Structure 1
Amino acid sequence: MIQIDDTIISLDIIDKYFLCDLAKCKGECCVEGESGAPLEEEEKAKLEKVLPIIWNDLSPEAQAVIKVQGVSYVDSDGDLVTSIVNGKNCVFTCYDDQGVCKCAIEKAYKEGKTDFYKPLSCHLYPIRLTKYTNFTAVNYHDWDVCKVATVVGRREKVPVYKFLKEPLIRKFGEAWYKALEECVKEVKKQREGVKSQK
């Protein structure tokens, strides 16, 4: 484990590899799962604000769910999450002409229509944050639907923390990320030292 400020970071973040290949996985992480994407409380209002901008990109089924339930709900674990359609698709999904599932919010952001990129938990995936009384745990979430990303990441030598540099800085700031990079160097140095002693 690595500790930076009030975060405890799993070593999986530096040891595991990850690089999305949307052409192969088709954005399955936005479709599969038992509930929607975890939300921070203030993100609910941001989703409601962006809704009119992305409304026409959403499926009729998603629009129907939102009309009844809203953009989010509290799941069986007591967590606030995005609403989903038929126990699967996030309501904010849309599909391109190749059948790849994408985020309508991210699409609007890239088109300059909103300043909200997408929920942090989506941006940070495969990292999951768990808040405790005195610290936040930063863990790697291993999921079968992302198997391709782990294979590509290993081939291209992209560790999780490098793949997620932008969202980690979005959440914790530049100084935190620089501290993480220094910790990674220290961990590698310690491991090399142990190897040389054997």
Structure 2
Amino acid sequence: MIVVDNVLISDEIAEAQFVCDLNKCKGGCCEEGDAGAPLEDAELDLMVDLYEKIKPYLTPASVAEIERKGKYVYHKEFGWVTPTLGGDNEICVYGTRDEKGIIKCAFEQAYNDGVIGWKKPISCHFFPIIQKTGRKGDYDRMNYEPRPTLCSPACSLGKKLKVPVYKFLKEPITRKYGEDFYNALDKAATEYYTAKKK
């Protein structure tokens, strides 16, 4: 376990290697799962405020489902999540497939086009790291949880390129916790990996 500030980080985040291979997984993490993407409380208003701006990126089916269910829904196990088209293991309503069959996030597409300034829910940005806050809110926990089959190509590509999980996810880690935190994690992970090789 690596500890930085009040965040408990699993050793695998320093040790395992991972680089998304979208041509193989097709963005399946936006579809495969027990519910939609978990949302932080601070993100709920964003989902509402940005909806009209990202609406042009959505399919008619997604628009109909959002206007029927709402911009987010409550799940008894995961709390507030994005709606899905249908039930579990269905595509997130904010996802669309491109001509190659790769699922693209409407928020991220709008962000890349300069339409909005928010990239996507932090839980999506973090994957395959699952980040949760402790019950009392006094610490966070970060675990490495790739999907066994879906993420197999990403694990293989990460090993080939020799990219640790935390380095691949530098952007969301910095977005959530700041640059000083990431630098401290980088130092701790390097020390951990060096010690393990001895």
Task: Judge same fold: TM > 0.5, yes or no.
Answer: yes
Name stretches of at least 5 consecutive residues in structure 1 with no aligned partner. Answer: none
| 1:110 aligned onto 2:112 | yes
In 1, the alpha carbon distance for the partners of 2:97 and 2:193 equals 41
Q: How far did 1:189 drift?
A: 3.2
In 2, the alpha carbon distance for the partners of 1:136 and 1:130 equals 6
Secondary structure in 1 matching 2:49: helix
CA contact (8 A) 2:57 2:106 kept: yes
Counterpart of 1:126 in structure 2 is: 128
User: Percent of aligned positions with the same letter in both sequences?
Assistant: 39
Counterpart of 1:188 in structure 2 is: 193
In 2, the alpha carbon distance for the partners of 1:86 and 1:150 equals 30
Q: How far did 1:78 drift?
A: 4.7
Counterpart of 1:39 in structure 2 is: 39
Name stretches of at least 5 consecutive residues in structure 2 with no aligned partner. Answer: none
Q: How far did 1:71 drift?
A: 1.3
TM-score, structure 1 length as denominator?
0.93
Counterpart of 1:95 in structure 2 is: 97
Counterpart of 1:135 in structure 2 is: 139
Counterpart of 2:61 in structure 1 is: 61
Say which structure is richer in helix. 1
Counterpart of 1:84 in structure 2 is: 84
Secondary structure in 2 matching 1:145: coil
RMSD of aligned Cα (Å): 1.2
TM-score, structure 2 length as denominator?
0.93
| TM-superposition CA deviations, 1:14-58 (whole Å, max 9, x none) | 111111111111111111111000100111111111111121221
Q: Which segment drifts farther, 147-156 or 49-58?
A: 49-58
Counterpart of 1:20 in structure 2 is: 20
Q: How far did 1:185 drift?
A: 2.2
Secondary structure in 1 matching 2:116: coil
Q: How far did 1:140 drift?
A: 0.5
Pair member with larger Rg: 1
In 1, the alpha carbon distance for the partners of 2:82 and 2:21 equals 24
Runs (4+) off by over 4 Å:
none
CA contact (8 A) 1:71 1:91 kept: no
